[in-house]
Structure 1
Amino acid sequence: MSDDDQSQPLTSDSSKHSLNQLPEDPSPERPQKISRVDEENDAAEEAGNDCNNEIKMHPNPRIQRYLIAIEYIGTRFAGAQQQSNCRTVVGVLEEAFHKFIGQPVSIFCSSRTDAGVHALSNVCHVDVERISKRKPGETLPSHEPAVVRKAVNHFLQKNEGDIMVIDVRCVPFDFHARYKAQERTYFYRLLSGPEPLSTFEKDRAWHVTEELDLLSMQRACQVLVGCHDFSSFRAAACQAKSPIRTLDELNVTEVVSSLHFPSIKEREQSNSLVEDSSASSLRSESEVSHVSSITCQGKIDGSNVEPSQIFGMRKSHRCFVVTARARSFLYHQVRLLVGVLKCVGTGELTVDDVERILKAKTVTAASPMASACGLYLGHVKYDLPSET
């Protein structure tokens, strides 16, 4: 599930843990604090009471818990969470670990992304007991994180190559990837323009054929950011106990689209910068960097577009990225937010309409949900224990 970090029912494997955080003062004078407590209570109730039993159990000193950061293209996955008869992120990762250590493992993700949703960095944890393959009864010292990363990636690259471990760290036995997460950041990519979407961008962004008004979208974000009842922005299947969420950040930024290659004019300007900097010893490196950034911005603003289209060269789209950051999200919250922002950008909705939708507190008031293919889990933040 794409952006429902704390809100959907857990499977039996993932219902063993809970938050170990004390609720904040529920004073009516501190509404944002109340919302945070609501979010924490949702997560704690879903986790179940079995978590306390697990933490009280004396951990096996031969077992090492690893925190694993992974990136993946979600196109060929039926989501992150384990499912029978479907290719999932957790299933592929568990298979790679099994081949590495020679025994089955259970992996727990911080965020359960939907089918088609990508991750620049999702985080999970896994418990590993290193047993000798030559002498099955003999326990060996735990692998170093760098060894785990290299070995697991070796097996992952043999399985479609659309997932990779990017970081590994040893953590205490009671450190849970999902319930210790303090903040999650999602990105959503929209490509605007009438031209058909590039083959290289297929399933990587939402293609909007209309022009988008960036300023209007940014103004709409100001209505939505903060602590609100987001009932209008959660799917009907959402089972969170409370619709109250605190959206710490919501903004839209226009960026140079990925796989951007320099045009003739950009190459000429780049060369002229080098020549100018070589000719003038008075020009500082920071000044050259500043001019270079202006050149790049000019490309984004359209002021540096080629006067005529060259045969065989594709016309580029304008690329917009919506950033949403919060401790937790409701089911499909980000994609519903993007759907409304897109309609503001095309002129189908006004900023006042966004406020009306928010106050309606029903998902039927919202615009159609954005496609899964443009959503990326960007980062999961933790207060990690110091490494020993």
Structure 2
Amino acid sequence: MQTSSSSSSSSYTSNGEHSKRCISSLLESSCLEKPLKIPKTKEEEEEEEEEEELMSEKNPRIQRYLIAIEYIGTRFSGSQKQKAECRTVVGVLEEAFHKFIGQPVSVSCSSRTDAGVHALSNVCHVDVERISKRKPGEVLPAHEPGVVRKAVNHFLQKNEGDITVIDVRCVPSDFHARFKAQERTYFYRLISGPEPLSTFEKDRAWHVSEELDLASMQKACRILVGHHDFSSFRASGCQAKSPIRTLDELNVSELASTPYFPSIVERQNSILEQDLLNSSCLSENELSLKSSIPNPYSVTGSSNSSNKGFGQLRSHRCFVVTARARSFLYHQVRLLVGLLKCVGTGNLKTDDVQRILNAKTVTAASPMAPAYGLYLGNVKYEFP
């Protein structure tokens, strides 16, 4: 009996030890397994970037510069860095800075522009630590803004020459080009007329062969300006948390088609016409004189264009849409311009504008205007 009891006891002990070893091995194997990676949201990525920037604030040797740049967007795949083989505004700018200071930098843009979109003034910030090339451990005083502008432009001109630094300013280490922006202004150029577009305007404006009704387009602008839900003018892929935006300005104006070099007669007639328009009271003779003045903005097919000599380009009309707001939704300006164009050609009535705005779906909007007519005009800041 004792033998049986001791045998049973030893069997129980060995089984218990075996179970413990199994549990221990399972725990060890589970600890060695890598946890599943949860993809980060855009907001989390931006928060990490901000944390990295806050860490850089603690380094007094780093100087942050605010850089204003202009560029022709034709040969760029947008402003933001993408794949290695894609040529982008930020990528070219970082490369120029790297050649200038001898170490890599990270450039942050105030506004993202798509492939083909131009900028009269986009703004970025970049942190630079000036280290002596002769004595790598020696930290030197920060470069003056004028030196940065001249040096970076030197390297940019060796890379296609389609981007230029137009202004540089020293700012505090917590000044963010994107989040500190108070206002952004975009311009969109439309060239109207049945004649082929000038070679000088290629990839610089949207050529609309039909005649555009300026008054109808301006009426449509008055409906769209203000505080609205712009879901109908928000392209898929927009990462903004809300479609609510305040459009501070939206208007259409007519300007001289460029390149335009008026003759002395045209300039004199233009001055005379402006004087007559500014007059508070026009006599019958003055009204008759005003109607006889040739209009340099007239569309091809008018009596003025028929007087063009051989080898002279027929006149077009140039319209510029101005959109100004603190921030815009993805493709909002191009969708707005697409709608205004349809109103200008008569394909849509001004009543349709309110209907499309109220629909709150991008499927109700008109086809989007092409990228190459869009210009980021200005980014406004309040400096400390």
> What is the rounded CA distance, in whole Å, between the counterparts of 2:315 and 2:201 in structure 1?
11
Letter in 2 for 1:153: N
Do the aligned partners of residues 133 and 73 (structure 1) sit closer, same or farther apart at CA in structure 2, a change above 3 Å counting? same
Alignment correspondent of 2:8: none
The CA distance in 2 between the partners of 1:235 and 1:340, in whole Å, is: 14
Is 1:261 aligned to residue 261 of structure 2?
A: yes
1:6-49 per-position Cα deviation (integer Å, ceiling 9, x unaligned): xxxxx99xx7xxxxxxxxxxxxxxxxxxxxxxxxxxxx787326
SS in 2 for 1:330: coil
Partner SS state of residue 296, structure 2: helix
- Distance in 2 of aligned mates of 1:95 and 1:309: 48
Q: Secondary structure at the match of 2:188?
A: strand
8 Å contact from structure 1 (residues 188, 322) kept in 2: yes
Show CA shifts across 1:170-198 (max 9, x none): 00000000010011000000000001111
The residue identity in structure 1 corresponding to 2:243 is P
Q: Is residue 191–residue 207 contact of structure 1 (8 Å, CA) maintained in 2?
A: yes
Bigger shift: 341-350 or 237-246?
Answer: 237-246
Partner of residue 142, structure 1: 142
Instruction: State how far apart, in whole Å, the 1-side matches of 2:275 and 2:114 are.
Output: 45
Rg (Cα) greater in structure:
2
1:235 maps to a residue whose letter is A
Are positions 1:70 and 2:30 aligned together?
no
**Which residue of the partner structure matches residue 181 of structure 2?**
181
Distance 1:67 1:219, change over 3 A: same
Which runs of structure 2 are paired with 1:224-239 in the superposition (5 Å)?
Answer: 224-239=224-239
How far apart in 1 are the matches of 2:247 and 2:294? 28
Aligned to 1:347: 346
How far, CA to CA, are the matches of 2:135 and 2:203 in structure 1?
47
Structure 2 CA distance for partners of 1:127 and 1:144, relative to 1, 3 Å: same
Deviations 1:119-154 (A, max 9, x none): 000000000001111222211111000000011011
Measured after TM superposition, the shift of residue 301 of structure 1 is 5.8
Residue type at the aligned position of 2:262 = P
2:320 maps to which residue? Answer: 321
- Going from structure 1 to structure 2, the CA distance change for 1:347 and 1:48 (only over 3 Å counts) comes to same
Supply the AA of the counterpart residue of 2:248: D
SS in 2 for 1:357: helix
Say whether the 8 Å CA contact 2:97–2:105 is kept in structure 1. yes
Query: Is residue 297–residue 316 contact of structure 2 (8 Å, CA) maintained in 1?
Result: no
User: Structure 2: how far apart are the matches of 1:61 and 1:252?
Assistant: 48
Q: Which amino acid aligns with 2:296?
A: K
Give distance in 2, aligned partners of 1:140 and 1:351.
Answer: 61
In structure 1, the residue matched to 2:336 is 337
The answer as to 2:88 corresponding to 1:88 is yes
CA contact (8 A) 1:265 1:306 kept: no
Unaligned runs of 5+ in 2: 1-38, 280-289
Structure 1 residues 155 and 58, CA, compared in 2 at 3 Å: closer, same or farther?
Answer: closer
Tell me the residue number matched to 1:283: none
- Pairwise CA distance, 1:52: 5.1
| Matched residue SS, 1:150 | helix
The RMSD of aligned alpha carbons is: 2.8
Measure how far apart 1:307 and its partner are.
5.4
Asked whether the 8 Å contact 2:253–2:321 carries over to 1, the reply is yes
In the TM superposition, 1:54-69 aligns within 5 A as: 54-55=53-54, 58-69=57-68
Offset at residue 375 of structure 1 (A): 0.2
Detail structure 1 runs of 4+ shifted over 6 Å in the superposition: 294-297
Once the two structures are overlaid, the 10-residue window that deviates more, 105-114 or 308-317, is 308-317
5 Å matches for 1:108-127? 108-127=108-127
Unpaired runs of at least 5, structure 1: 1-10, 16-43, 274-285
Q: Is the 8 A contact 2:188 2:375 kept in 1?
A: yes
Distance 2:320 2:379 in 1: 18
Q: Show the 5 A alignment for 1:88-107.
A: 88-107=88-107
Q: Which amino acid aligns with 1:72?
A: Y
1:370 is the counterpart of 2:369: yes
Distance (Å, rounded) in 1 between the aligned partners of 2:49 and 2:129: 22
The offset of 1:55, in angstroms, is 2.8
SS in 2 for 1:86: coil
Identity of aligned residues (%): 75
Q: What code does the residue aligned with 2:331 have?
A: H
How far apart in 1 are the matches of 2:251 and 2:230?
Answer: 17
**Structure 1 SS opposite 2:96:** helix
> Would you tell me which structure has more helix in proportion to its own residues?
2
Q: Distance in 2 between matches of 1:184 and 1:116?
A: 19
Task: Please tell me whether the aligned partners of residues 189 and 319 of structure 2 are also in contact (alpha carbons under 8 angstroms).
Answer: yes
AA matched with 1:162: D
Which amino acid in 2 is paired with 1:184?
A: R
**Distance verdict in 2 for CA 1:57–1:329, change over 3 Å:** same
Structure-2 change in CA distance of 1:319 and 1:146 (3 Å): same
Residues 137 and 296 of structure 1, relative CA distance in 2, 3 Å threshold: farther
Distance 1:45 1:312 in 2: 59
Cα offset for 1:316? 2.1
Distance (whole Å) between structure 1 residues aligned to residue 172 and residue 246 of structure 2: 29
Residue 35 of structure 2 corresponds to: none
AA of the residue aligned to 2:239: Q
One-letter amino acid of the counterpart of residue 189, structure 2: R
- How many Å apart are 1:57 and its aligned residue? 6.3
Report the Cα distance in structure 2 between the residues aligned to 1:57 and 1:163, rounded to whole angstroms. Answer: 28
Contact residue 130 and residue 139 of structure 1 kept, 8 A: yes
Structure 1 residue 64: deviation in Å? 0.4
Instruction: Tell me the amino acid that sits aligned with residue 93 of structure 1.
Output: L
Kindly indicate whether residue 324 of structure 2 is the aligned counterpart of residue 361 of structure 1.
Answer: no
Q: Closer, same or farther in 2 for the Cα pair 1:266/1:114, shift >3 Å?
A: same
1:383 CA drift (Å):
0.5
Equivalent residue number for residue 51 of structure 1: 50
Matched AA of 1:243: P
